[in-house]
Amino acid sequence: MRAPIPATGFGLLCCALLGGCSASEKTAVARGQELFESKALSPSRLNDYTCVSCHDLRASAPPSKKPGAPLAGATLRSRFWGGQEADLLHAINACRGYFMSASQPLTADDTDARALYAYLESLEPGDDAEQPFTIVTDIAALPRGDVINGLALYAQACSTCHGSMHDGRGRLSERVPILPEDTINEPTHADFTPRVMRLVFTEKIRHGLFLGYSGVMPPFSAETLSDGEVSDVLEALGVLGE
């Protein structure tokens, strides 16, 4: 395989050779990046997310704790969502529908959908391999964890959306619960024992909105957070089950 020419650079080079672009012309790649980084990918006023909320562009070391896979190379992949989606646009629409409250899916003819594709394509080659995404379906009682590690993990995995622990400072919006108090104090949780409350938190981390739950939270896969790391987060939250 020959060395790929970065598509963005190629397009910009063409512009320059042909006399230069006016600032008033927004390329599809630029529009795609704008959609990627803003809430505009969904028209819903209830949307608090951007793609960046859950995805990095490229894999990092140590691995990111964002729930979604790095997206450079997504245009070259054949499977998404841990193999459960075989179409990139379907995979994007799943994010828009489940997390971003979009009521209508994008079609391949939509200008914005095409712009988003242009931006993702500009990130090639990236990683073209299917990204592991194992949903932990069976929720078990986890052993106690490490509070120091849990605080660091909270900062990486939770605070982007939920803001600071206990006061929610910096959270995505006022709709996002402050952890752990808002969840503990939900009226429907009033009768939960500490043990059950710990299972509820574990289930929410693992299942997000899926598997009979609700809301707009994404699930954290086994690859993103190990059981030990979930224990650490619970320790930091003070959801100890006792």
Partner 1 sequence: MKRRLRSELSLLVAGAAAALGCSSSEPRQADYKGVAYPNDRPSFDRRAGRIGYVANRNDDTVSVLDLDAMKLLGTVPVGRDPVDIDGPRHVVLDTENDLAYIALSYPFSEQSPHALIEGGTQRAGYVEALDLDDLSVMGDLRVDPSANELAFSPSLSALAVSHYDVFRALSSENDDRRANLVLVDPARDIALDDATARRSPLCAVPAAMAFSADGSRLFVACTGDDALVVVDPRTEKVLSSVKAGEFQVNKPYALVADSARGRVLLSNQVTKAVSVFDMSDEPAMLASLPVLGPPMFPVWLSDSTIAVPFQQPSGVSLFDLSTNQELLQALFPIEDCENAAELSLTSDGRLLLVCEGTHYQPGSVVELDPATLEIRAKVAVGVYPERMAISEP
Residues with Cβ < 8 Å from 89, sequence gap 6 or more? 105, 106, 107, 108, 113
Q: Report if residue 124 touches partner 1, rule: CB under 8 A.
A: yes
Of 174 and 188, nearer to partner 1 (C-beta) is 188
Residue for token pair 């020419």: 5
Q: Report if residue 121 touches partner 1, rule: CB under 8 A.
A: yes
Residue 42: which region, alpha, beta or left (left: phi > 0; alpha: psi -120 to 50)? Answer: beta
Count of positions on this chain that bind partner 1 (CB under 8 A) = 60
- Amino acid making up residue 177: P
Q: 27: which 2 tokens?
A: 């390329």
In the shown chain, the binding pattern of residues 125 to 164 toward partner 1, with x for contact by CB under 8 A and - for none, equals ----------x-----------------------------
Q: Burial level of 210, CB count in 10 A (0-12/13-18/19+)?
A: middle
Of 100 and 159, nearer to partner 1 (C-beta) is 100
- Binding-site member from 40, 46, 86, 129 for partner 1 (CB under 8 A): 86
Q: Report if residue 241 touches partner 1, rule: CB under 8 A.
A: no
DSSP symbol at 113: H
Q: How far apart are alpha carbons 85 and 100 in whole angstroms?
A: 18
- Binding-site member from 60, 78, 173, 226 for partner 1 (CB under 8 A): 78
Q: How far apart are alpha carbons 189 and 124 in whole angstroms?
A: 46
Q: Which of residues 177-216 bind partner 1 (CB under 8 A)?
A: 188, 200, 203, 207-208, 210-214
Q: Report if residue 225 touches partner 1, rule: CB under 8 A.
A: no
Q: How far apart are alpha carbons 154 and 212 in whole angstroms?
A: 25
Q: 60: which 2 tokens?
A: 């990092």
Of 50 and 93, nearer to partner 1 (C-beta) is 93
Residues that bind partner 1 (CB under 8 A): 1, 4-5, 7, 10-15, 17-28, 31-32, 78-91, 94, 108, 111, 113-115, 117-118, 121, 124, 135, 188, 200, 203, 207-208, 210-214, 219
